[in-house]
Amino acid sequence: MSNNNLADKVNDHGVLIVSKRDAIEFNYLLKIKGSDAIKYAVNSIKGNRFAYVSNLAKILQVDIPKDLSDPNEVIPIEQGLAMLRTVMRMRQPTPRK
């Protein structure tokens, strides 16, 4: 596959998506790290190279699960943090009177 053909497979974030698996893994990274982190990782790639999903995962220090099957089961980081804050508030002891 020539570079011209590969350039057609670059998504709006500047990431090369050549397979369904790439799309699933990219969506996983996007959901758990967010758009700003993806932008940072893409911009961290030196030279005139394509941004592969595996490169982004390394830069962002994310181990992508091998058994990723349904990306809809992954919640966005903001939602996860909000859930964690709620649980932490619930665990705080109530003041005694």
**pLDDT tens by residue, 12-63:** 998 999 998 899 999 999 989 999 999 999 999 988 888 999 999 999 999 9
> Do 14 and 35 meet the contact criterion of CB atoms below 8 Å apart?
no
Helix orientation angle between 20-33 and 35-44, rounded to the nearest 10 degrees: 110
Q: Which amino acid is at 23?
A: A
Q: Which of 61, 57, 50 is nearest to 25 (CA)?
A: 57
> Do 25 and 64 meet the contact criterion of CB atoms below 8 Å apart?
yes
> Do 29 and 56 meet the contact criterion of CB atoms below 8 Å apart?
yes
The more confident residue out of 97 and 65 is 65
Supply the Cα-derived Rg of the chain in whole angstroms. 18
Secondary element (H or E) of residue 16: strand 15-16
* pLDDT at residue number 96: 72
